Amino acid sequence: MREIKEIIVHCADTPEGRDDRAADIKRWHTKERGWSDIGYHYVIDLDGTIEPGRPIETAGAHCTGHNANSIGICYVGGCDEKMKPKDTRTDAQKASLQLLLKYLVAKYPNVTIYGHRDFANKSCPSFDAKEEYKTLTGK
C-alpha cells in the first residue's frame, strides 16, 4: 500500500452547472491525453455524488511531483460561464467533500489537505482548500 501524506483537492475546470461525471473526465484523460485511466481517485458530481476514480492503491495523475503519496479529489465545476476561475461548488458538493475528507483523514491521520494551486501556478480548485479544511487535520 502507498504511504498517503497528502490529499489534493482539484476542480474539473468546467463551467458552472455543467453536469459532467467521472466517466467524462476519464474520457478526457484517456482519449485526449492518452493516460491509462482518470487522474483522480474521487470525483464529486454537482448533486454531491462521490464517484470513484483510480483505486487508492494506484498513484494518481493529478499533481506533478505529488502523485506517489497523495489522493486526488476533483469536484465538477470551478469556472464561471466565461471560463474564469470561480468556486462553483454546490451545497451538495461542499457537504460531500467535507464528508469524504473527514473519512480520509480518519483513515490516513497524518495527511495534510491542499489545493492543487498550492503546488502549481493555477487557480485550481478555485478556492483555498488548505485554509478551508485545516481544522480537519490541525495543519
Residues marked as catalytic: 10, 40, 116, 122, 124
At residue 92, what is the residue type? Answer: A
Q: Are 62 and 13 in contact (CB under 8 A)?
A: no
In whole angstroms, give the CA distance from residue 54 to residue 59.
8
- With contact defined as beta carbons under 8 Å apart, do 116 and 63 qualify? yes
Radius of gyration of the chain (CA): 14
Gap between the Cα atoms of 34 and 45, Å rounded: 23
- Partners of residue 113 on adjacent β-strands: 7
